[in-house]
Amino acid sequence: MFRFQKEQEIVDIAGVKIGGQPGELPTVLAGTVFYPNHTIVKDEDKGTFDKRKAESLINMQVTSAEETGNPCMVHIFASSKSSIKKYIDFVSEITEAPFLIDSIESSVRMEGIRYVTEIGLADRAINNSINMGITDDEKNTLKDSDVTASIVMGFNAMDSSLEGRIALLENGGNVAEKGLLQIAEDCGISKILIDPSVTPIGNGAGIALRMTLVAKAKWGHPVGSGIHNAPLSWDWLRNKKKEDVMIYKTCDIGSIGLQLIAAGDFVLYGPIESAPYAFPMAAMADIMIAEAAADFEVIPSEDHPINRLI
Partner 1 sequence: MGEWPIVKGDYQIGDKESRIGIVTLASHFELKQEELKKVAIIGSCKTENLGAEKIITNTVSNPNIRFILLCGNESRGHLSGHTLKALHANGIDENGKIIGSEGAIPFIENIPENAIARFQRQVQIIDRIGETNLDSILQIAEEYSKRGEPYPEPPLVVQTVKRKKRRKTIPISMAKDIMISGNVVLDSSSGVIEICSGSKKSKK
Residue numbers at the binding site for partner 1 (CB under 8 A):
1-6, 79, 103-106, 131-133, 155, 157-163, 174-175, 199-200, 202-204, 210, 213-214, 216-218, 235-236, 238, 296
Q: How far is the CB of 285 from partner 1 (least distance, A)?
A: 18
Which C-beta is closer to partner 1: that of 72 or that of 194?
Answer: 194
Q: Which is nearer to partner 1, 48 or 59 (CB)?
A: 48
Nearer to partner 1, 125 or 207 (CB): 207
Cβ-based neighbours of 96, under 8 Å, separated by 6 or more: 14, 15, 124
For partner 1, give the closer residue by CB, 132 or 187. Answer: 132
- Choose between 3 and 53: whose C-beta lies nearer to partner 1: 3
**In terms of DSSP bridges, do strands 16-19 and 10-13 run parallel, antiparallel, or are they unpaired?**
antiparallel
Least gap, CB of 65 to partner 1 (angstroms): 29
CB of 83 to partner 1, least distance (A): 12
Name the residue among 148, 18, 112, 19 with its Cα closest to residue 71: 18
Name the minimum Å distance from CB 235 to partner 1.
4
Shortest Å, Cβ 161 to partner 1: 6
Query: Smallest distance from the beta carbon of 308 to partner 1, in angstroms?
Result: 27
Residue 240, amino acid: K
Residue 259 CA: distances (Å) to CA of 60, 115, 120, 170, 218 = 23, 32, 33, 22, 18
Q: Would you say 49 or 279 has its CB closer to partner 1?
A: 49
- The torsion angles phi and psi of 48, rounded to 5 degrees, stand at -95, 140
Q: Distance between alpha carbon 35 and the CA centroid of its chain, in Å?
A: 14
**In 3-state terms, what secondary structure has residue 15?**
coil
Question: Distance between CA 51 and CA 70 in Å, rounded?
Answer: 25
Measure the CA angle with vertex 130, ends 51 and 6; round to 5°: 110
Measured from the CB atom, the residue of 58 and 181 that comes closer to partner 1 is 181
Distance (Å, whole) CA 144 – CA 146: 7
Residue 20 Cβ vs partner 1, minimum distance, rounded to whole Å: 14
Counted residue by residue, the chain has a size of: 310
Q: Which helix (H) or strand (E) holds 262?
A: none
